[in-house]
A = this chain, B = another copy of it.
Amino acid sequence: MKKRIAIDMDEVMADLHTSRLELYQKEFNVSISNEQLPGKKLFEIVPPEHVKRVRSYLWEEGFFRSLAVMPDAYEVILELSQSYEIFVATAAMEVPHSFREKYDWLQEHFDFIDPMNYIFCGHKYMLATDYLIDDTVLHHETFPGLGILFDALHNAGETRYPRAKNWREVPALLQSLDATAS
């Protein structure tokens, strides 16, 4: 039986950060440098009067549908799907209007993943997969399998989990975890 990998969508398969940052910079005619962001979420560094607006971008129709695919995600996940069973596990319950957009986005950009392997959920600790590739530390803290922390500005400084700086680093990381586990 193939080992199973659960892969998060936002900021792992889909570039949510760049889209939100662009919307914010354009609307308020400001420039946020990436140096301001390590260890922080965007809404934590904007003026208090902008917080609500920054949070609201995710609720705009079409936001999730139009996100760009993360660099090399398609090619690497396609390659991984030869050796592993791939599940997409996205905490969609936090943004329930996004269900259909996320479904359509996956169908367009990752046509080789069967929708039967999509998981729209809240928690992720009840997934019986061997690996979880996710940018959100909260999920790693409760996931019973092996986690790979996908690099994002907001998780800078987190050292408890093997980190993939980008998709190109993932296959070798999985190989080393496979070797450790066996």
A contact set with B: CB distance below 8 Å: 4, 6, 87, 92-93, 96-97, 99-100, 103, 114-123, 125-129, 144
A144 touches B122 (CB 8 A): no
For A126, the closest partner residue in chain B by CB is B128
Q: Can you list 22 A-B pairs with a CB-CB distance of less than 8 A?
A: A93-B103, A93-B115, A93-B116, A93-B118, A96-B99, A96-B100, A96-B103, A97-B100, A99-B100, A99-B120, A100-B100, A114-B122, A116-B122, A116-B123, A118-B121, A118-B122, A119-B119, A119-B120, A119-B121, A119-B126, A121-B121, A127-B127
Q: Are B118 and A87 in contact, CB atoms less than 8 angstroms apart? A: no
Known: A96-B115, A99-B100, A116-B93. A144 touches B128 (CB 8 A): yes
| A4, B122: Cα distance in complex, Å | 15
Q: Given the complex, which residues of B lie within 8 Å of A122, measured CB to CB?
A: 114-118
